[in-house]
Amino acid sequence: MIKIESTTTKLEHLQKKIMNQDFQESRGLSNEVSYYILGYAPEDQPLVREAIDKMEMRFNQASVGVDIIEFNVYQIMWKLLDEIGIRQNVFDMEKDEGIEYLTEQLNNVLKMTDSENLFVAYMEKHLHTENSVIFLTGIGEIFPLIRAHKILNTMHQIISAVPVILFYPGEYNSLSLSMFGETKEDNYYRAFQIN
């Protein structure tokens, strides 16, 4: 019960932040990028999904002056792999070579070490308004193939004019990410916590 209340509190805090003009315009951050991570217990995923849907309906239909744009990185990955024409190869590669080999190959194909990887290029292309807040979802579904810090590290070089909120099924302590509260990722310290 404590975890659900904690996640609920974070989601309520996020809604209040989105309504704040300073948040919308990324003011008061001492020249930092306006990237935020809302970490939550993985079992709270249904609660988080419901809250995201409600926020999208509320803000995108109201005259709040801000649009919520959701980028689900899991869905984006499959769109990109379809465009490249290698969806079936992914399944075959995992079966034949294993998850570690597949992860390495996907990171190469999606150019995850480039400053403008294919995820970021896709998001930049589909970011249609400056009065937006980006919701980055699907990171739990894409794990361990693509890591959150790899997307965030390149994203802030390209998308810096609008706030970005990563919904993260794990823990973030303002320095490191821990997916599902178990698997530690590389350090990432440029985002603020939503708590």
Express each pLDDT in 136-185 by its tens digit.
999 999 998 988 888 888 888 788 888 999 999 988 887 778 887 666 66
Model confidence band, residue 21 (pLDDT cutoffs 50, 70, 90): confident
What pLDDT is recorded for position 62? 62
In a domain, 25, yes or no: no
Residue 3 predicted with pLDDT over 60:
no
Between 122 and 150, name the one with better pLDDT: 122
Reported as a pLDDT band with limits 50, 70 and 90, residue 68 is very high
**Distance from C-alpha of 119 to C-alpha of 105, rounded to nearest angstrom:** 15
Q: pTM of the entire structure?
A: 0.89
Contact 179, 64 (CB under 8 A): no
Nearest Cα to Cα of residue 191 among 28, 9, 13, 34: 34
Any domain includes 26: no
Q: What is the mean pLDDT of residues 6-28?
A: 86
Residue 23 domain-assigned (yes or no): no
Residue-range definition of the domain harbouring residue 187: 2-18+41-193
Whether 177 is in a domain gets the answer: yes
Q: pLDDT category, 113, cuts 50, 70, 90?
A: confident
Q: Whole-number mean pLDDT of the chain? A: 86
Reply yes or no on whether the pLDDT at 26 is more than 80: no
Residue 34 lies in a domain: no
In a domain, 33, yes or no: no
pLDDT of residue 64: 64
In total, how many domains does the chain have?
A: 1
Q: What is the pLDDT of residue 4?
A: 47
Domain annotation covers residue 28: no
**Residue 145 within a domain:** yes
* 120 contact partners, CB below 8 Å, separation of at least 6: 151, 154, 155, 157, 158, 159
